[in-house]
Structure 1
Amino acid sequence: MLRTAYADLAAALSALTAEEGWQPTGCAGWTPVDLGVHLLGDARRALVALNTPADGPADTTAVDYWLAWRPPAPGDEDELWSTRVVASVQGGLGPVGRRYAETSAAVLVAAGRVDASDLVRTQGRVMTVADLLSTLAVEAAVHHLDLVAHLDRPGPAAAPLAEVRRVLEGLLGGPLPAGWDDVTAARRGTGRSPLDDSDRALLGPAVERFPLFG
C-alpha cells in the first residue's frame, strides 16, 4: 500500500510542468512546490523513524496517531509560512520532485528491512512499523488529492484511499455515509470539502467531530 502511494505521488509530482508547480493546491496558501517540500520532509521523517527502534509497549496506533492533527492547532500558520520560505529556495518543482522520488524510494527500502511488528519511535511516540506505514500511506494519499485538486491529473490509487477511509472511520467510531466514495470521504473527513445540509443530516451529532483530522 505504501509502495503504491509513494510511487504514484512521486510520479504525479514529476509529471507536473514548471508552470503547474505554481498553481493552487488543496492546501490553502500552498503551491505544488510548497506541498512537495512538505512531503519531502515527511519522507525524511519516515527514514529516521524506520531506523529508530524503540522499546515497548507501543503507545500509538495508526488511527489514534491522527488525534494530534485536528485543525486548527497552535503553530499551524507558522508551519505554513516556514514551508513557503523553504520552498522558495529549492529551485522549483523539478529539484523538489527528484528529491522526493529518491527519498521516498529509500523509505521503501528501509521498510523492507524491518518487520511489521517491530517498534519504532517518531515524533515522540512509539508504534509498530505496520502502523507507521499506514500513517505514511494516509499522509501521501491525502496530499496526493491536495496536489491534483485544481489540476487535471490522476489522484491516488484505490488501496491508499481505502486506508484513509479506514482511519477516518476509526476516528469517528463508526462508518462514514455509504454514499460517500473514498475520495469524497477523504476530502470531507479531513475538512478539504465542506459538508452540506444532507451530509449534516446523515452524520447527526457526529458532525461536531468534523474534520476528523486535517
Structure 2
Amino acid sequence: MDDFSRSWTALLAAVAGLDDADFARPSGCTGWLVRDLVCHLVIDAQDILITLATPAATEPTRNAVTYWDVAGTPPTGEDPLDALTVRLAGAYEEPWLLKFHLDDVGSAAGRAAGLAAPDLRVSTRDEVFTLADYLSVYVLESTLHHLDLIAHLPDAPAPPPEGLARSRELLTAIAGTPFPSSLSDRDALLIGTGRRSPTESERAELGSLASKLPLILG
C-alpha cells in the first residue's frame, strides 16, 4: 500500500512539473508523445477508481504477478485503443487541461486507495484480486510509465527507489529468473520490458534470461 502511494504520488508530481513544451516530446512508449502518455494515465486513474468501486465476494483468481499477460511482440502504437488515446490527448489542446484532469482524477484515485482495506476483494478484467495485489500491479505500472514519461527528459525526477525495487521484484517473479545484481533496478526494468536493449556485456550477464526478454506486459 505504501509503495503504491509513493509511486503514484511521485508520478503525478512528475507530470505536474512538466513544462508545456515537454508534452510534445516523445515518451518511452512506442508511437506516443508525452501528452499521449499523460492521457493514458488519466485512463489509468479512472480504472483505479472504477475497480475500487467494484467489490467482489468470491476468492481471488489472480495476484500481482499473474495479473499480467506476456505478449510475444512489442506494441507498434497502431492498436485501436492506443490510437484512441492519441486522439483523446489531442482533444485537450492545451497541456494545462491534461495536467488539471490528471491531478483531479489521479489525486482522487490515490485518496480512495488509501481509505480502502488491503484485504478488500475487487474485480477488474473479469478477475478478482485483493486490493493489496491490485495496487501492487499499479506499483509496476506507474513505475514503468514514470520511466516512459522521463525517457527524453533528463532533468525530470525519477521514480522513488522503493517503487523501483518493488517493481523489479514483480518483474523477476513474472520472468521466473532473477536479473543480475550488477543491473540497477532501473536498468533491469528498462531491459526487462524492452524499453532499451542490453549492451553486449549486459547480455552476457543476463545469461539464459536473455532468451526470455523482452517481457511485453499487457
Shorter-chain TM-score range = over 0.9
Distance in 2 (CA, whole Å) between partners of 1:189 and 1:103 is 30
Residues 145-190 of structure 1, C-alpha deviations (whole Å, 9 max, x = no match): 1111101211111111111101111012231111110110111111
Equivalent residue for 2:185? 182
Partner of 1:188: helix, strand, or coil? helix
Q: How does 1:9-158 map to 2 (within 5 A)?
A: 9-68=11-70, 71-72=73-74, 77-151=79-153, 152-158=155-161
Identity of paired residues, percent? 34
Find 2:203's aligned residue among 200, 203, 209.
200
Look up the equivalent residue of 2:93 and give its one-letter code. Answer: G
Q: Is the 8 A contact 1:187 1:193 kept in 2?
A: yes
User: TM-score, structure 2 length as denominator?
Assistant: 0.91
Look up the equivalent residue of 2:82 and give its one-letter code. Answer: L
Distance in 1 (CA, whole Å) between partners of 2:28 and 2:76 is 20
Distance in 1 (CA, whole Å) between partners of 2:190 and 2:29 is 11
Q: Is the 8 A contact 1:33 1:93 kept in 2?
A: yes
Which segment is superposed worse, 165-174 or 192-201? Answer: 192-201
Q: Is the 8 A contact 2:164 2:186 kept in 1?
A: yes
Look up the equivalent residue of 1:173 and give its one-letter code. Answer: G
Distance in 2 (CA, whole Å) between partners of 1:179 and 1:206 is 14
CA 187–139 in structure 1, closer or farther in 2 if over 3 Å, else same: same
Distance in 1 (CA, whole Å) between partners of 2:37 and 2:71 is 17
Q: RMSD value over aligned CA atoms?
A: 1.9
Shift of 1:69: 5.7
Q: Is the 8 A contact 1:43 1:104 kept in 2?
A: yes
Q: Is the 8 A contact 2:192 2:214 kept in 1?
A: yes
Shift of 1:129: 0.1
Q: Structure 2: where are the runs of 5+ without partners?
A: none
Distance in 2 (CA, whole Å) between partners of 1:163 and 1:42 is 19
Shift of 1:79: 2.4
Residues 120-150 of structure 1, C-alpha deviations (whole Å, 9 max, x = no match): 0011111110011111121111111111110
Q: Is the 8 A contact 1:6 1:140 kept in 2?
A: yes
Partner of 2:20: helix, strand, or coil? coil
Distance in 2 (CA, whole Å) between partners of 1:46 and 1:172 is 25
Q: Is the 8 A contact 1:58 1:128 kept in 2?
A: yes
CA 121–114 in structure 1, closer or farther in 2 if over 3 Å, else same: same
How many residues align? The count is 214
CA 71–162 in structure 1, closer or farther in 2 if over 3 Å, else same: farther
Look up the equivalent residue of 1:104 and give its one-letter code. Answer: G
Shift of 1:198: 2.4
Distance in 2 (CA, whole Å) between partners of 1:3 and 1:81 is 29
Which segment is superposed worse, 169-178 or 67-76? Answer: 67-76
Distance in 2 (CA, whole Å) between partners of 1:194 and 1:107 is 34
Q: Is the 8 A contact 1:36 1:93 kept in 2?
A: no
Equivalent residue for 1:170? 173
Q: Is the 8 A contact 1:32 1:93 kept in 2?
A: no
Q: Structure 1: where are the runs of 5+ without partners?
A: none
